Amino acid sequence: MCTLYALTRPQDAVRRHFKVGRDRTGNLPALPAIFPDQLAPVIRLADDGERVMEIMRWGFPPPPNAGKQPITNVRNVASAFWRPWLGRQGRCLMPVSSFCEYTDATPKVPHWFALGTERPLFAFAGIWRTWVGTRKGEDKEHRLFAFLTTEPNDVVRPIHAKAMPVVLTAATADCWLEGDVPSALSLQRPFESGLLHVVATGARADG
């Protein structure tokens, strides 16, 4: 499952591409390596229906009796645990320019996937919530996100056979944010293989 992704496109391009009305992220730098439990930009619907981009932390609190590690990726959306965040007000987008999967075999080799060599923008289908507790030494109310995964497509499967993120284009991102629950969950499917490419392979620190 994906535990590393990058957002290296300009902030203004992200706003335009995903029709962000309010940007609360400040001066957003390039983010070539986003790992679990780090902060990253997330796009959600405000109560008035406008799209808001703000900073959240990657990783939901785990279900009861499931340990203490934050949950970064969600597969089983039929579970009652995830149901409260599947409505419009709980769904969100993670803007992405590339993501990394490691080979299942040893040694584990990183492979970066993108929609082309220029790494144009796309999004992961995500969910978000508020949560009060301690993360990274801060005891407060946090805004947290995780993203959905699905079966790997023909491009990802030879590298990582277990899962891949749910990848959205600008058009399907609209449905994920604004559609009803059945329409949104219908997007939990492998991304079209012909549109996804391996753009880098081997030991590197970022995407």
How confident is the model over 9-47, as pLDDT tens digits?
999 999 999 999 999 999 999 999 999 999 999 999 999
Q: What is the pLDDT of the chain when averaged over all its residues? A: 94
In contact, 83 and 172? CB cutoff 8 Å: no
Does the reported pTM lie above 0.85? Answer: yes
Give the whole-angstrom CA distance, residue 105 versus residue 83: 34
Share of the chain above pLDDT 70, in %: 97
Of the candidates 59, 58, 101, 86, the residue with the CA atom closest to the CA atom of residue 200: 101
Span 158-181, mean pLDDT? 95
Confidence class of residue 206 from pLDDT cuts 50, 70 and 90?
very low
Give the whole-angstrom CA distance, residue 159 versus residue 103: 5
Range of lowest pLDDT (1-5, 23-27, 63-67): 63-67
**pLDDT for 137:** 86
**pLDDT for 47:** 94
* Start-to-end CA span in the chain (Å): 16
How confident is the model over 66-104, as pLDDT tens digits?
778 899 999 999 999 999 999 999 999 999 999 999 987
Torsion sign across C-alpha atoms 56, 8, 178, 163: negative
Q: Is the pLDDT of residue 204 over 70?
A: no
Domains of the chain: 5-201 (3.90.1680.10)
Q: How far is CA 91 from CA 26, 140, 151, in A?
A: 22, 22, 20
- The Cβ of residue 49 has, within 10 Å, a number of other Cβ atoms equal to 10
**pLDDT for 71:** 94
- The Cβ of residue 139 has, within 10 Å, a number of other Cβ atoms equal to 9
Task: Report whether the peptide linkage leading into residue 62 is cis, meaning its omega lies within 30 degrees of zero.
Answer: no
**pLDDT for 203:** 65
Span 96-124, mean pLDDT? 93
